[in-house]
Structure 1
Amino acid sequence: MFKEELEILDATLNEQTDSYGKVREAIHQLWDINFALDQSLIVAITDVRGNITFANQLFCDISQYSLAELLGQNHRIVNSGYHSHEFFRQLWQTIGQGGVWRGELKNRAKDGSFYWMDTVIVPSLNEQGKPCQYISFRKDITQRKMLEEQLDGLITTMPDLVLFKDGEGRWIKANQSALLFFGLRGVSYHGKTSEQLAAVSLKHGSVLRRFAAMDEEVWRRGKVLHREEEFVLEGGSSRVFELTQVPILHEDGTRGGLTITARDITERKQTDEFLFRAERVSAVGQVASRIAHEIRNPLAAMKWTLHLLKLDHPQGAVQFDALLTELDRVDGIVGELLVLGKPQEAQFKTVNLEEILRVVVLLMNSQARHSQVSLDLDCEAELPPLWGEPNQIKQVLMNLIKNGIEAMPQGGKVTIQAFLSPEHELVIRVSDEGPGVSEEVLQHMGEPFFTTKEKGTGLGLSVCHKIIHDHQGRLKIYAHPHEGTTVDVVMPIGSASEVG
C-alpha cells in the first residue's frame, strides 16, 4: 500500500545523502584551501570601518602582535608612516567602490622594524552590491625590497649616467649623475620625454635631443646597442661617451621600456690618442735625432766656411748673409729634431704663470704688431703656481702665439687666457680669429712633419706636445672651418712630489 511512497522516500533520502557528501567534500576542500593560504600568505579580514576581525598566524608572526592585540584594532597599528595620505585615500576609494586593490605596502612591526608586503585587498559584497568586509592577502617581499633599495642606491651613486624609460620614451628613473649632467636636479622629470626635458634643461639640451633620436634607432633594431658617441656641448667643448642601450620588449614585440647607461670616456680617449701620438713622435724622433746629429757637424762647417768667404769677398756680403740666414733656419730645424729625439735636461721649479705669460706677450708683441695682430692677455687673479721648466713653458707659449699670428695674415686678435678649471688644473687657452681648419686636418695636427704652412716644418706642435707631456699636462686643439682655432694647455699644479 505504501510501497510507492516508500520508494519515493528512499530515493529522496539517497539524494540527500549524496548532497550531504558533496557538502562535506566541499567543506574539506575549503579547509584545505584555508590551510594552504594560512601557511603561505598573510591573511586579514576587516569590517567596513577597517577594524581587524580576523588575522592568521603569519600576520601575528610578521607584525609581532598577538591575535588579541590585533582584533578590534585598525590597520594603523602597523602603519609605518611611509605612504602618503593620498596613497591611502586612493586605496580606500578603490575598495569602497567594490574594486580590487593591488599594491606594495610598507608596514612597521611591534619592535619598530619595517617590512614590505605585496598586497591584494578584495571586498566582500552584500546583496545590495556594497562592501560588507574586506579580505586582504599579503606576501612578505621585504628581502626583495632591500635588494632593490641596495641596487637603487648603487645606481644613484654611480658616476655613469643611468636612465630608465618606458615604451613611449618617458623618463621613469634617472640617477644623480644623469640629473647633474643634464642640469635637471630639482626638476620633476618622471613621465616626461627627453624632448620635453630639453626645454627645461639648464645645460646640454641638445644632447638630450640626440638621445631621443638614438632611442628610436634602438627601437627599430630591437637589440642591445653598444657604441661611442661624441657630443658637442653648449660651451663648444665636446665629451665622448660609451653608450649601452637595452630595449625591453613585450612578448608581442611592442615596446616595454629602455635602459641607457652612458660612461664618459673623454679622458681615456685623449690618453689613448696622446699615447698613440707619443709613440709616433718617439719613433720619428729617434730617426730624426740620428739624422740631426749627422747634419749638425757638416752644417757647422758650412757656416764657418761662409763666414770666411764673406771676409774674403766683402762684395758678396748680401748673398752670404742670405745663405747664413737659411743655414740658421736649418740649424733651428735640427734643434727641434733633437728635442723630439732625446729627453731635454730641465730644471723644474715653482713657476709663476702670470709672470711667464706677461714676458711671452712682451716678446711676441713686435711680431704681432708687424702682422697687424693684437695680443689680448686675460689672466685670472691669484692663480696657483705650477711646477715646471720656465724656458720650456715659454717655448710652448711662444710657439702657440706665433701660430695664431701666422694664421691671420690680414690681421686680427690672439687671445691668451689663463684660469683654474673645475678639475683644479691650470688652463692656458690661446685662441685666434683665423680661418680654422677642417676635422680631417685637425686629426693630424701635432704629428711630426705635418703642416698647413707653406714654409712650415711640422715640428712646432710636436715639440709642444712633447714638452707638455714631460710636464704631465695635455695639449688640446679645437678648430672648425671659418671659426678660428683654440689650443688649451692643461697643466697640473702643485709641488715636485705631487707632479713628478
Structure 2
Amino acid sequence: MTQGKPSRSSDAPAQPAAGAELLPEVFRQMAEHAPIAISITDLKANILYANRAFSTTTGYALAEVIGKNESMLSNGTTPRLVYQALWSRLAQKKPWSGVLVNRRKDASLYLAELTVAPVFDEHGETLYYLGMHRDTSDLHELEQRVSNQRLMIEAVVGAAPAAMVVLDRDNRVVLSNPSFARLARELTEGGSGDSLVALVRENLALPFAALEGEGRAFSGKEIPLDLGGHAPRWLSCHGMAIHVEDERAQVFFAPGAERYLLLTLNDISELRQKQQDSRLNALKALMAEEELLDGMRETFNGAIHRLQGPVNLISAALRMLERRLGEQAGNDPVLSAMREASIAGQEALDSLSGAMPVRRAEAKMPVNVNQLIREVISLCTDELLAQGIVVDWQPALRLPWVMGAESRLRSVIKQLVMNAIEAVAHSQVSRRELFISTRVENQQVVRLEIVDSGPGIPAELALKVFEPFFSTKPPHAAGHGMGLAMVQEIVSEHAGTVHIDTSYRDGCRVVVELPFSAAG
C-alpha cells in the first residue's frame, strides 16, 4: 500500500469515473428490473423487447410476446380516436401519453397509463418505439369512487332544506349550499353570505366564541330575527369544527391541520308561528281576564273617588260645626247624625278599598317590545278592520330587550292602540291610519311611537289626560278616565317615561321610552 493513499478492498466493485459512459449491460439491467412495464417495438408495433414488469402486468411470458404486435393487449373498447392520436404524435416524432383499456392473458381488463416515445438514430430518424405503462385500475377506481361520493354529497347538501356553510379562520364563506344563499337573500339587506354569518355570530356571541376559540360544538341554539311586519323568523343553529390536513407540498413530512367551521341553520319559523298562534289564543283569554280585572278595579276606584268627596265634605262640615257649638256639641242631634254619617262613609270607603281586586305580582324578565306590539296588533285585528284603519308597523330590525313585567307592558301597548283606534273611529277624518314604530334612542332607551290620524289632543291637555278620571271623549262615550293614568303608572314602574308630542299636528303621537335590559 502506498503511503498517503486510501486503501480499497480488492473485491469492491470499481466505481466509474465522473463523465464515463455506462456499459450497455447496465442499461439492460436497469430496464429489466424497472418497476414499470417497458417494451421496445419496431415501427409497426411488433414487440422486440419486454421486461419482467411487462410480464407481471400483462400475465404473458416473455416468449409469448416477443415478435407479437402490441395490439394483442387491446380489448377493442378503447376508442379509435385514441389510437389515431397516438400514431399521429409518433408520426410527428413526438411522444404520446394517455390511458388505454388493456386485456391480460387471463382476459381480465385493466387500465394502462401508457407513454410511447420514438427512439432516434444519429440522423434523427425513428428506429424504434419505447413504450412504458403501468396498471392504474385501482387508482382510477379510487378516484372515481371519490368523485362519485363527492357528487352524491353535493347533491344531498344542495337539495337539503337546511342552510349549510363552511367558514375559514377569518369567518369568510368557503362553501355554502343553495339553501344558505336563499336564506341570506331573505334575511340580509345585501343578500351576502358574510352578512348572514355576521348576523348569526352577533346573536350567538358566547357559543360562537367557544366554537372559534376551542372548537367546542353547539347544537339547537335558537335565535329570533325581527324583520318587521308580521313575519318574525326563527333559526335553529348548529356549529362544529372541521379539521382538514394541509395540502401544501412543503409540509408533506410535517403535516398540520387547518380548522374550518361548519354552521347548519334550520328555519323553524313555521313551527314557531304555529306555537305563536296557539299562544295568542291563550293570550286572548288571559288578557280578557286581565281586562275584566282592570275594569273591576277601575269601577271600584271610580266609586271610591266619587264617595271620597262627600265623605270629605261631611268630615269638614263636622269639624266646623264642632268648633262653632263648642261645649254644646255633645248634645246636638244634627252633630250626632253627621258623626254617624262620617263614620259610615269612612267604613264604606274602607270596605270598597278592601274589596278591590288585587293584581297578582309578576316577576320581571327580559321582554321583546317588538313581539308585544305584534301580539297586540293581532289581538286588535278585528277592531282595526271594523274601523277601516290601515296599520303601518315599522319595528327596529334588532331591538334590545327591556327588563319588565310582560303582561303589564302588553297592557300599556294595547291601551295606547285602543285609544288610537277610538280616536280615529270618533273623528270624521278620511285618512284612517295608525303608525307604530320602535327604535333605539341615544343608545340608552327603547323608543316606541304610536301615531294616529285622529283629531289629536290640545297642547293644554297633554299633561291633564294622564290624570285619573279625566277623559277627552264625548260624554256619551266617556269611560272612567283611568286608561292613560294606568299607562303612566306602569311605565313609571319600569323606570320609563310616556308623553304626548305636542309638536305633532296631523293627529296624536304618543311616545314611550323604556331603558335597556342588562340581559339584552
Q: Which has the larger radius of gyration?
A: 2
Q: TM-score category by the smaller chain? A: 0.3 to 0.5
Q: TM-score, normalised by structure 1?
A: 0.36
- TM-score, length-normalised on structure 2? 0.35
